[in-house]
Amino acid sequence: MISVLFFARFRPKSLLIWLLAALVLGAGAVAAYLPSPLEQLRFLRGEMPELFTVLGFVGDSNLPAFVLSALYGLLLPILANMQAVSLGRHLLARPLADGRLAQLLAAPHARASVMLLHFLALAVWIVLTQAACLAGQMLSAVLLFPVADLTALSRLSIGFIPTALLLSAFCCLLALVSPSEARYARRARLLLALMLILAMAGRLSGWTRLRLFSVWSLFDGRSLAFGAGGWGLAGLAGGLTLVCLAAALLYFQQREL
Amino acid sequence: MIHCDNLTRAFEGDGVFDISLQVQAGQTLGLLGPTGAGKSVLLRVLAGHLRAQAGTASIFGLDCWRDRRRIFRRAVYAPMVPALEMRMTGEEYLNFSARYHGGFNPQKARRLTEQMDIPLTGQCRRMGQEERKKLGLLAALALDAEVFLLDEPFGSLSAFARGALADALQALRQSGAAVLMTSHVLEEVRRACSHIAIIRQGRLVVTQPVEALSLTRQKVYHITFNSPQQAASFAAEWEAGVELIGTRALVAIPASPQALLRTLARYEVVDLIGGREDAEEGFLRYYGDDIV
């Protein structure tokens, strides 16, 4: 009955906070496309074009392009980073430190099952958060922009999930190899922030190669928004997630508790 | 059922070295030793959490590291500090543990809950140290297992709960289970165990049935000499089992004092007091300098 562990790992109150945050972000990003806030953003963009480029602002010719700029350039990556670090901490780093994981393994269950179950809980959590964000966008779009291209918004959201999962798998691996919960948190925050900074710096002309050092280069928002592909990179992110997970499993098999 | 053969595992400055022991069905072995002696390390090796560096550790003939999953179909491990799910209530944790581990015996759980007065309502994080300990023990002891590995089960418990736990351990022994528990209190081990093993600085000093503890008790003589030099000279001559405190020497001998009296005849003895050591003293003798 290992499914009991899966449900034990879900903390409805915490999940609700993440879902609400994602819903508000999604709805807010679409609402910002209303003429008045859009005008202000255009003005600011005219004043500080390079800052907006760094923040991932690719244009506002239509709603999907604007949502890509306003949401997927910085806000959702930050949310995904925070979620990956936090979930890695709550699901693995802390139970490893306080002996709960050792206690879970003093039972007739394979280490691989226990580890995979934790990742599954984490993945479901992330998918639900992205679904909440998409729901917020859809709700806002249906109410405010009835003719908006909702499929483009869906493509963006679905294409974002593999990269968010890759971050989480990376955090799982980091939680297992870190000697303490505090060290894990420091390392994870630092590495994930570094990847985001590299992705942002890579948006500047002449610095584009920096993007290659960040997992965010696997999220090709422009192609996804305009229906011009981008799934290959998302697939690569999915593949790398599996590689990361396999490495975590292999390490966990040999890890002493 | 539990078998260690020349088991060695160093761990963060402590560890266990060259440990060989066996616990058969119907036996309760109390592993006695001071803090840092290596008791918990040994249990963690047996629970499959640490890997043996040399020698073997097996339960039911299965290797504790490789076959951990198969072992825990019939074995239970309760750590010194129970790792509870703090957001759950006691009852929720017990249900979770029962479903997760399998082999839960509700009658046994009910009996233990009453005997040890374990509160199941209220979140684990709001429980005191003793309540958490009792809940952790309940989750372990309520399982129908054949082998129980219990790390300091009596620690943090009140006298009332200790009595109930000793009874529960005796019941386990009578049911044919093999129990290996650790403790640093002799009285607890004498009360709950059939066998005792004393561990010191990671090495087993002695393993014997609890009843044999009284048979190995020695006679201790407190001898006062007229000068520290005389005492030192006597200590040098007597060699084994002498403890010097100024002009006084403490000698522990297992048999007749004939040889001691013959030796003392050559010294100026001011006072001589003799008597049989009690069990606690006998136990401390094995501890050597580890206890201050």
The predicted-structure confidence for A110-128, as pLDDT tens digits, reads as follows: 899 888 888 888 899 999 9
* Interchain CB distance below 8 Å, A108 and B51: no
Residue A246 reports pLDDT greater than 90:
yes
Q: In what order do the strands lie in the sheet with B28-32?
A: B75-78, B147-150, B178-183, B28-32, B195-200, B203-209
Tens of pLDDT, residue by residue over A86-95, are 989 988 999 9
* Integer Cα distance of B21 and B73 in angstroms: 22
Q: Which of A1, A98, A99 sits opposite B99 (nearest CB)?
A: A1
- List of chain B residues whose C-beta atoms are within 8 Å of the C-beta of residue A92: none
Helix count and strand count (H, E) for chain B:
11, 14
Is 80 exceeded by the pLDDT of residue A166? Answer: yes
CB B43 within 8 A of CB B76: no
The owner of tokens 């078998």 is B3
- Cβ distance of B49 and A257 shorter than 8 Å: yes
Residues of chain B with pLDDT under 70: 213-218, 239-241, 254-255, 276-292
Minimal-distance CA residue of chain A relative to B49: A257
**Partners of residue A166 on adjacent β-strands:** none
The CA distance from B180 to the nearest CA of chain A, in Å, is 15
CB atoms within 10 A of CB A42: 12
Confidence (pLDDT) at B254 = 67
Chain A and chain B share a number of CB contacts under 8 A equal to 57
Predicted pLDDT at B214: 61
Tell me the residue type at A220. D
Segment (H or E) for B34: none
On the question of pLDDT at A241 being above 80, the answer is yes
Confidence of residue A19 (pLDDT cuts 50, 70, 90): very high
H or E element in which residue B254 lies: none
- Nearest-neighbour CA in chain A from B206: distance (Å): 29
pTM: 0.78
Across the interface, do B87 and A11 touch by the CB < 8 Å criterion? yes
| Tens digits of residue pLDDT in A34-52 | 888 888 888 888 888 888 8
Cβ atoms within 10 Å, residue A68: 27
State ipTM: 0.77
B83 touches chain A (CB under 8 A): yes
| A238: confidence class by pLDDT, cuts 50, 70, 90 | very high
B265-284 b/e (C-beta count within 10 Å ≥ 16 → b): eebebeeeeeeebeeeebbe
Residue A243 has pLDDT above 90, yes or no: yes
Instruction: Please give the pLDDT value at position A27.
Output: 93
